[in-house]
Amino acid sequence: AQTVTQSQPEMSVQEAETVTLSCTYDTSESDYYLFWYKQPPSRQMILVIRQEAYKQQNATENRFSVNFQKAAKSFSLKISDSQLGDAAMYFCAYRHSGNKLVFGAGTILRVKS
Amino acid sequence: ETGVTQSPTHLIKTRGQQVTLRCSSQSGHNTVSWYQQALGQGPQFIFQYYREEENGRGNFPPRFSGLQFPNYSSELNVNALELDDSALYLCASSENGGQSWETQYFGPGTRLLVL
């Protein structure tokens, strides 16, 4: 079974600085998709960024980028120029085929002003 | 474009009771997935509905059941509630049968407390 591990229960970053959230996953598949979701205190899960495993190029969305290392099964999220609104729970998720997303346990990100 | 909505936002039930949670999918989406998120954990997949048929199920007992209606809205029903059913229940919609490459759009969730 596929598993997703987020080893950092909590991270802190100073406003305007950069932070990296870690994620590793376990799968025997070669074709899959990886996602980072943000869940603020309002509870609504919002997609931050996605990565297709067949693409070597790391995905980027404005201040958010990933470091995808397929051989190492690692998928970290880098947030640049951190803002107070970035404070939330961040979930890494995996999807191979069909329907279900497999989520990690999450990392709480705190942003200090 | 209307996003995913869920009702109610909060619910308190007692052990042994039954509960129905509701989800309206985003406009144009025909697929709804349900997840259970226990406190401090990541969401766990319960099941998915595509065009009114169950289209995959996670490791949840049969007392968790669902429905999808012709307008693609959905219900999650839980019978014989247990204390461990206390959680945030999230629904997510997608537009194309839940293909692996699709983005799922989540609702705000229903917080269920079982006493």
- Please state the φ and ψ torsions of residue B83, each to the nearest 5 degrees: -60, -35
**In the block, residue with structure tokens 């998720």:** A93
**Residue B98: pLDDT band with limits 50, 70, 90:** low
- Asked whether residue B106 carries a pLDDT value surpassing 90, the answer given is yes
- Closest Cα in chain B to A101: B45
Give the integer Cα–Cα distance in Å for B7 and A82: 33
Q: What percent of chain B has pLDDT over 90?
A: 77
**pLDDT tens track for B17-46:** 999 999 999 888 999 999 999 998 999 999
Size of interface A-B (CB pairs under 8 A): 65
Mean pLDDT of A5-30: 96
**In the block, residue with structure tokens 């959905």:** B74
**Residue B101: pLDDT band with limits 50, 70, 90:** confident
Would you state the pLDDT for residue A98?
67
Would you state the pLDDT for residue B1?
57
Query: For chain B, what is the largest distance between any 2 Cα atoms, rounded to a whole number of angstroms?
Result: 39
**Which residues of chain B does A106 touch, with a Cβ-Cβ cutoff of 8 Å?**
40-42
Mean pLDDT of B41-57: 92
**Residue A50: pLDDT band with limits 50, 70, 90:** very high
**Residue B64: pLDDT band with limits 50, 70, 90:** very high
Interchain contact B101–A (C-beta under 8 A): yes
Would you state the pLDDT for residue B102?
78
Work out the mean pLDDT of chain A and round it to a whole number: 94
* Token representation of residue A112: 């200090």
Interchain contact A96–B (C-beta under 8 A): yes
Interchain contact A32–B (C-beta under 8 A): yes
**Which residues of chain A does B55 touch, with a Cβ-Cβ cutoff of 8 Å?**
98-99
Would you state the pLDDT for residue A81?
98
With an 8 Å Cβ cutoff, are B106 and A99 in contact?
A: no
A43, A49, A103, best to mutate vs chain B, most B CBs in 10 Å:
A43
**Which residues of chain B does A96 touch, with a Cβ-Cβ cutoff of 8 Å?**
100
* Token representation of residue B27: 């406009």
With an 8 Å Cβ cutoff, are B100 and A33 in contact?
A: yes
With an 8 Å Cβ cutoff, are B107 and A44 in contact?
A: yes
